[in-house]
Structure 1
Amino acid sequence: MVPDRARRTQHGERYVAASDTRSASAPGIPSAFRLALLLPLVAGAMLPGAFAGGGTRRWFGGRGEGQRAEAQAAKDAAAAAFYELDTAQRGLRISIETITAVDSSPEARDAVAGFEALGRRIDQVSHVYITAVDAHDLDRDELDAATASRARTELTRAKDELDRVKGELDRFEAGLAPLLGRAETQLARLAPAVERARQALRGASDALDAVREGGLRADDLALRLARLGPELTRLNEGAGRHGVPETLQRADRVLRDAEAVRAEAERLPERAAEIDRRLVSLRTRTEALTTRTEGVEPVLSELRRRFSLDCWQDLQHVPEQAAASLAQAGERLGEAGKARAEQRWPDATSLLSTVRALLDSTDEAVSAAGDRLRRLEAVAKDPDAEVDRARFAVRDAQRLAMDGRTTPDPRHAAPLDQAVARIDRAVASLEGRHPDYWHFLTELGEVRATAARVVGQIREERGGGAGH
C-alpha cells in the first residue's frame, strides 16, 4: 500500500496543472488541498452537459439523483473545510516562524511543540478526508443510491473532523497572541535599529574627519571607531545569520559606541582649548604660590618669637614641604605640556589633575601659617571673645535641652556639663608666663562642636517624634 502522506501528495498532484496561483503547501500540509477545491469545480462543469441530455452517462432519477446531489454537497462542504484548515495552518506556520526567529525561551519552544502536535492531528484528519474522496467517484454512471448515501456520510464525518481540528488550531493561535506580539515588536525594531547604527557610524566618521581637518589627530578615537568595523560587517550579514535578538543587541551597542566616539570627537577642539587654558592657569598659580611660600619663613619666625613651641611646631616644616610640592608640580606641568603637544589628551588631563592636587595642598599649608599667626594674635589680645563664643554655644544647647522638660535628658546634659568644665580648664590654662594659646583655641573649638552635636541630636529626636 502507498503510505498515507504519499497518497495525499499523489492525490493532489493530479490537479497541479489546474490549480490556482497559490504557493506550494507548507511542510506537513499536502497538495491534496488543491484536489478538495477543484473537484467541486470539475463536477460542476460536467453537470450541465448531463442535464442537457448530450452525455452518455446513465442517470438514476428520483431518490438516486437526490442522494448523488447530497453526496456532492457533502463533498463540497468537506473541500471548503479542508481549504479553511489549510489556510489557517499556513498562517499559523508564519506566526510560529516569526516567534522562533526572535524568541528562544521555554515558552516559545512549547509553542513550537504544540504546533507540531497540531500538524500531526491535521495529517490524521486530512487522511480521513482524502480516503473518503478517493473511495467514492460521485460522477460514476453506475453510482447507486446506497453508495451515494455512504459517501455523503463519510464526507460529512470528514468535514466535522476538519472543523473540529480547525477549532483547536484557532484556540492555539489565540493563545500565541502575547508571544507573537512581542516577536513582531522586536522584528519591527530590527530594521530601524540597524539603520540607526549605520547612521551613527557615519556620523562618528564624519566628526572624526572634521577634527583631523582642524589639525587634531584623535588617534584613540580613530582606533575605537576601527574596532566597530567588524560589528558593522555582522550587522550587514543580517538577522538571518546571527538571529534577531543578537542583531538588535549588536545594533544598540554599535549605536552607543559610535555616538560616544562622535560626541568625543565633537568635543575634542574644546577639550584641547580647555587643556591649554588649564596649563596657563596652573603655571600662573604655581608662580604665585612660589612667591607666597617665600613669605612663610618670616611668619614662622614671628610665631617662634612671640608664642610657645606648642603653638607653631606643627608648621615648622611647611617651607620645605611647600618647596618640594611646587617642584613636583612644575615637573608634572612640563609633562602635561608635552602630552598636550603630542595630543595625548587623557595623559594631559590626568597630569593636570595631579598638578592641581599638589597646588591645593601647598596652598592650604602656606595659608595655615598665616592664619595661625592671625588667630593667635587675636586671642592673645582678647581671649575673652573666644570664651564668650564657647559659653554662648553651650547655653544655647542647654536651653534647647530644657525646652518642655523639668530635667534634661542625661544623654544631652552630660556632654554639655563636660563642655562647661572644658571651658573652665581652657581659661585656667592661660595662666602662666607662656600660655598655650593654640591649645586654648583648639579646646574652645571642640566645645562649640560638642554643643552643635547635642543641638543636632535633640532636633533630630524631636523632629522624629521622640518623647521629651
Structure 2
Amino acid sequence: MTATPGTPPSQPYPPPPTARPRRNRETAQSPSARPAHAGRHAAPPRRPTALRDALTLMGLPVLVALGLSATFAGGGTRRWFGGRADSQRVEAQAAKDAAAAAFYELDTAQRDLRISIETITAVDDSPAAQRVVADFEALGGRIDEVSQRYIHAVDAHDLDRDDLTAATAGRARSELTAAKDELLRVKQELDRFGSSLGPLLGKAETQLARLAPAVERARQSLLAASNALDTVREHGLRADDLAARLAALSPELTMLNQGAGQHGVDQTLQRAERVQREAGAIRAEAERLPEKAAEIDHRLVSLRTRAQALTTRSGQVEPVLSELRRRFAAACWQDLQQVPEQAAQNVRQAELKLREAQTAREAQRWPDASSLLSTVRALLNATDEAVSAAGDRLNSLNAVQKDPQAEIDRTRFAIRDAQRLAMTGRTTPDPRHARPLDDAVARLERAIGTLEGGRHPDYWHFLTETDAVRQTVARVVAQIREERGGGH
C-alpha cells in the first residue's frame, strides 16, 4: 500500500492536525518580497537597542516584551473563525483522522497476511496453495483501488486553509467518510480471507517448525560420523571407504547451509533426513569397525583350522568307499565315487581363498575380506557334507542289512497313523487323502520285495523308497490338519 500523503514513510500513522492553520503562499514568501500592506502577518518592527537594554534591566525577557508590544500595537499571528465554517472544519478533520486510521489498519492487515501467504508458498505448491496466491493478488488489486480513492480525497482538500468554506469542508467530510467506509469494507474482506487460510497455514507452520531441528540433526550426525572416523584412525584402521562416503555428503551439507529459501522446504527436509540417515550409518559402521576387524581375524583362524581338519577327514573317505564296494551292490555307492577327489579340490580352493582373504584384511579391504571368507565357508560346508555322506551311507546300509524289519515297521506305523487321522469323524475317507495313502502302502510293499532274493540286495534303493513313502504320508497328514484347523 502507498503511504498516506503528507506523512513521512517511517511514521505508521499520520500526524494529528495542528491548531495553527497553514500559511498561505503570500506569507510563505521572504520578508523582502512581502507587500507593505501585509497587515498582521508582517514581522513586528525592530526595537532600538536602548529600549531593549532598558527592558532587560527591568527584568523582562526581550522576546516576551516584544510580544506584548506587538499585541498592544494591534498585531497578531492567528485569525480566529467562528460559526458553521469552523464546525464543518472540525467534522472534516475528524473524518480525515478516521479514514487515516482505517487506511493504517488495512495496510497492517495486508502486510501480516502477505507473510502468511509467503509461509504457505514456501512449503506448499499444491493447487489449493496456488488458488490462495491468486485470490490474494485479486484482493491486492481491490486494496490498491480503495487506497487510491482515499489518497485522492486527502489530496483534494486542504483543511488548514484560512478561507475554507463550510461547503468545501462538508464536501471533504463526505468524501473522506466514503473513503473510510470503503477501506473498512475491504478490511473485512481481507479478514475473512485470512480466516480461510487456517488449514494451509497450520500445515506450513508445522513443516517450517520441523525444518531447523531437522537441519541441526543432520549437522550433528555428520559431526558424529567425522569424530567416529577420527577415533578409528587412532586405532590404526584407515576406513578409506567410510571416509569416501562421508566426503560424498559434503555437497549435501552445502545445500543444507544454503537454506530452504533457495531449495524449498520439502526438498530441504528430505535432504536433511537423508544426510542424517547416511551419516548415522557411516558412524555406526565406523564404531563397529574394530569389532569387525577382530571378527575377520577370528574367522580367518577358524576357517583355516577347519580346512586342515577336512583335509584329514577327506583321507578317510577312500577306506569307507572300499568297504561299500566290497559288501554292497554298486547302486549303493556309485554316486559317492567322486567324493575324495571333489573334497580335495574344495579344500585346495578354500585354502587359496583364505590366503586372498588374509591379503584383503591386511590391506583393510573389509568388504573383500568378508566376501572371500564367505566363499571359503561355502566350500568347506560342501566338502563337509560330501565327506559325511560317505560315512552316513555306510552306517545306514549296515543298519538295514542287519535288521530291515525295523525300517519296514517304522514306515508302516507312519502309514497307519495317517489312516487313523483320515478316518477321524468320518465313515468313509476323503478320496484326496485315501488315494495317496493307498499308493504309499503299495510302494512300501514293492520296496520290501526288492530285498527278497539275490546275494546283494539294493539296500540303498530300499532306504530311499521308504524315506519317500514317509514324506508322502507326512504331506497328507499336514493337509488334513490344515483343512480341519481352517474349519473345513
Structure-2-length-normalised TM-score: 0.84
Residue matched to 1:200: 221
Aligned counterparts of 1:45 and 1:284: Cα–Cα separation in 2: 111
- Aligned 8 A contact 1:58 1:142 in 2: no
Residue matched to 1:299: 320
Aligned counterparts of 1:183 and 1:87: Cα–Cα separation in 2: 22
| Aligned-partner SS, 1:42 | coil
- Which of 366, 382, 400 is the aligned partner of 2:421? 400
Aligned counterparts of 1:257 and 1:227: Cα–Cα separation in 2: 10
Aligned counterparts of 1:257 and 1:337: Cα–Cα separation in 2: 29
Quote the offset at 1:97 in angstroms.
1.9
Quote the offset at 1:65 in angstroms.
4.5
Quote the offset at 1:58 in angstroms.
5.1
- Which of 220, 241, 266 is the aligned partner of 1:245? 266
Aligned counterparts of 2:188 and 2:134: Cα–Cα separation in 1: 18
Quote the offset at 1:260 in angstroms.
1.5
Residue matched to 2:480: 458
Aligned counterparts of 1:322 and 1:363: Cα–Cα separation in 2: 8
Residue matched to 2:123: 102
**What does 1:87-126 correspond to in 2, within 5 Å?**
87-126=108-147
| Aligned-partner SS, 1:104 | coil
Quote the offset at 1:57 in angstroms.
4.2
What amino acid is aligned across from residue 441 of structure 1 in structure 2? L
Corresponding pairs, count = 434
* Bigger proportion of residues as helix: 1
Residue matched to 2:73: none
- Aligned 8 A contact 2:21 2:162 in 1: no
- Aligned 8 A contact 1:296 1:319 in 2: yes
Greater CA drift, 424-433 or 190-199:
190-199
The alignment status of 1:131 with 2:152, answered yes or no, reads yes
What amino acid is aligned across from residue 289 of structure 2 in structure 1? L
- Aligned 8 A contact 1:128 1:158 in 2: yes
Greater CA drift, 232-241 or 204-213:
232-241
Gap regions ≥5 residues in structure 1: 23-33, 48-53
Quote the offset at 1:71 in angstroms.
3.0
Aligned alpha-carbon RMSD (Å) = 2.2
What amino acid is aligned across from residue 463 of structure 1 in structure 2? G
Quote the offset at 1:180 in angstroms.
2.0
Residue matched to 2:206: 185
Greater CA drift, 84-93 or 247-256:
247-256
Cα 1:441/1:57, change in 2 over 3 Å? farther
Deviation >6 Å, runs of 4+: 44-47
Quote the offset at 1:435 in angstroms.
1.2
| Aligned-partner SS, 1:118 | helix
| Aligned-partner SS, 2:237 | coil
Aligned counterparts of 1:43 and 1:431: Cα–Cα separation in 2: 134
Aligned counterparts of 2:392 and 2:243: Cα–Cα separation in 1: 51
Aligned counterparts of 2:160 and 2:20: Cα–Cα separation in 1: 11
Aligned counterparts of 2:20 and 2:133: Cα–Cα separation in 1: 42
Residue matched to 1:437: 459
Quote the offset at 1:458 in angstroms.
1.1
| Aligned-partner SS, 1:16 | coil
**What does 1:316-327 correspond to in 2, within 5 Å?**
316-327=337-348
The alignment status of 1:448 with 2:470, answered yes or no, reads yes
| Aligned-partner SS, 2:17 | helix
**What does 1:199-348 correspond to in 2, within 5 Å?**
199-348=220-369
- Which of 386, 401, 409 is the aligned partner of 1:380? 401
What amino acid is aligned across from residue 288 of structure 1 in structure 2? A
- Aligned 8 A contact 1:58 1:141 in 2: no
Greater CA drift, 346-355 or 303-312:
303-312
Aligned counterparts of 1:445 and 1:160: Cα–Cα separation in 2: 100
**What does 1:44-193 correspond to in 2, within 5 Å?**
56-57=78-79, 59-61=81-83, 64-193=85-214
- Which of 343, 349, 368 is the aligned partner of 2:370? 349
Of structures 1 and 2, the larger Rg is shown by 2
Cα 1:233/1:267, change in 2 over 3 Å? same
Residue matched to 1:51: none
| Percent of matched pairs sharing the same residue | 72
What amino acid is aligned across from residue 270 of structure 2 in structure 1? Q
Greater CA drift, 337-346 or 175-184:
175-184
Aligned counterparts of 2:392 and 2:330: Cα–Cα separation in 1: 17
- Aligned 8 A contact 2:21 2:161 in 1: no
Aligned counterparts of 2:200 and 2:260: Cα–Cα separation in 1: 19
What amino acid is aligned across from residue 436 of structure 1 in structure 2? D
What per-residue deviation string (whole Å, max 9, x for no partner) do you get for residues 416-454 of structure 1? 111111111111111112211111111111111111111
Quote the offset at 1:152 in angstroms.
2.9
- Which of 7, 24, 45 is the aligned partner of 1:15? 7
